[in-house]
Amino acid sequence: MSLTPKLIATDLDGTLLRTDGTVSERSRTALSDVRSRGIPVVPVTGRGPRLLDLVRRDMGRQGLAVLAQGGYVVDLATGEELSVSSLPSAVAAKAVELIEDAVGGLIIAVEEVGDLTGPLRLQNGFDWPFPDPAVLLHRAEVLRGDALKVFVRSPSHDQDSLLALALDVLPPDLVEVTHAGLGFIEICPPGVTKATGLAVAAARHGVTADGVLCFGDMPNDLPMFAWAGHSVAVASAHPVVLAAADSVTLSNDEDGVAAYLEALFG
């Protein structure tokens, strides 16, 4: 960027965090330096509100955070919810049905919006990668109630091919669909992306898109890349993200976010 950014936004898993799930001291120091300059740092993650304590572990208890692919914006210090999005159960069921018509049987999980502290509802056989509280249920019991997000695994398709097929069969105004590199795709409320959630956080800080510098690594970061003034992919990012980025830094295991910020503010 030719000008100093007014807000830094970063994805967490696969971008700021190393492969072992840690934030290095180098990265913590770099973010602390940014904050000391009066520049807000906003994590923008696919993690849902049930992982809020994990976000606070990685980012501290200050500032705003965008969770759930943009569907949940919260103040990390006070717990104030700035935005909570909702996907009606009938719409979610229709989206799942359309994808299944194209690819065959799916395994699903639901993050319910009516109880953001309750357990995730996982269909038997869904391998969940995070330490959220969760309950295993039969399929008919999983997809009930409005959702913050719906997670979809396919026994026969990897995440990239499943996403491509879903984008092909789903009407563009029905839902948003993406993936975060975790082996499944995510169905979100229509019009809800990391970009829309980040816009809420940026507006609270009085910052417009052109003043935002963002970091990411997976297809769920693409809307944020398109919205922000400058986008940076870590070298370990998905090929489509590398192609969309304005700049590329070192990999997440090489503290690419920190390296870029050190060079920018050095």
Predicted confidence at residue 143, as pLDDT, reads 87
End-to-end CA distance of the chain: 14
| pLDDT for residue 118 | 86
What domains sit in the chain, N to C, each tagged with a CATH number? 7-84+192-265 (3.40.50.1000), 89-188 (3.30.1240.10)
- Give dist(CA 147, CA 92) in Å, integer: 8
Instruction: Determine the pLDDT at residue 2.
Output: 53
pLDDT digits (tens, 9 = 90+) for 244-254: 999 999 999 99
Per-residue pLDDT, 80: 96
Low-confidence ranges of the chain (pLDDT < 50): none
